[in-house]
Amino acid sequence: MSIESRLSELGVTLPDAPAPAANYVPFVKSGNLLFVSGQISANDDGFITGTLGEDMTAEDGAAAARTCAISLLAQLKAGCDGDIERLVRVVKLTGFVNSTADFGDQPKVINGASDFMVEALGERGRHSRSAVSAPSLPFGVAVEIEAIFEIS
């Protein structure tokens, strides 16, 4: 099944790839790797903000991480000149969680992105990853995730 078909089955329409907010590029191709800059938690209502362990639960954070994963796929599609089927596999996700010093469920939060990648991409979505705490993130967002993809 194509990635686009699977996303459609999941009720997901990829947005236009978000533009960078500062002096950087949204992705860099190097050989058969596509490095995608950090994508922040946002939905149709704007940024998803908050601090895990203070005013957000791990479940809230996982939902925010899922939005990051959708933005990552939008950047992937842009980086592949519109042909997302060029994806060979997700290599690595690095997730940053805006959380209190005593919050320890960063992996549960980033599972929102990891689970979505496997649900949408099957075996191509399995990846290595890191899930780390941050005392704050840009614009007060709850989650930021960057990715490395292998493409053909």
pLDDT tens digit sequence for 31-72 = 999 999 999 999 999 999 999 999 999 999 999 999 999 999
pLDDT for res 129: 98
Give dist(CA 150, CA 79) in Å, integer: 11
Torsion sign, CA atoms 135, 111, 46, 91: positive
3-state helix, strand, coil in the chain (%, to 5): 35, 30, 30
pLDDT for res 63: 98
pLDDT for res 19: 87
pLDDT for res 100: 98
Mean pLDDT value across residues 80-92: 98
**Closest C-alpha to 107, from 136, 89, 129:** 129
Give the start-to-end residue ranges of the domains of the chain.
Answer: 39-151
Mean pLDDT value across residues 68-88: 98
Reading the block at residue 35, the tokens are 């490095």
Q: pLDDT tens across 93-136, in order? A: 999 999 999 999 999 999 999 999 999 999 999 999 999 999 99
User: For tokens 């939902």, what's the residue?
Assistant: 63
Give dist(CA 84, CA 109) in Å, integer: 26
pLDDT for res 74: 98
Reading the block at residue 78, the tokens are 């842009």
Q: How far is C-alpha 96 from the chain's CA centre?
A: 10
Are 144 and 95 within 8 A, CB to CB?
A: yes
Domain 39-151 matching CATH 3.30.1330.40: the answer reads yes
**What DSSP letter does each residue of 38-52 carry, written as one string?**
EEE-EETTEE-B--B
**Closest C-alpha to 124, from 94, 95, 86, 69:** 86
> What's the predicted TM-score (pTM) here?
0.97
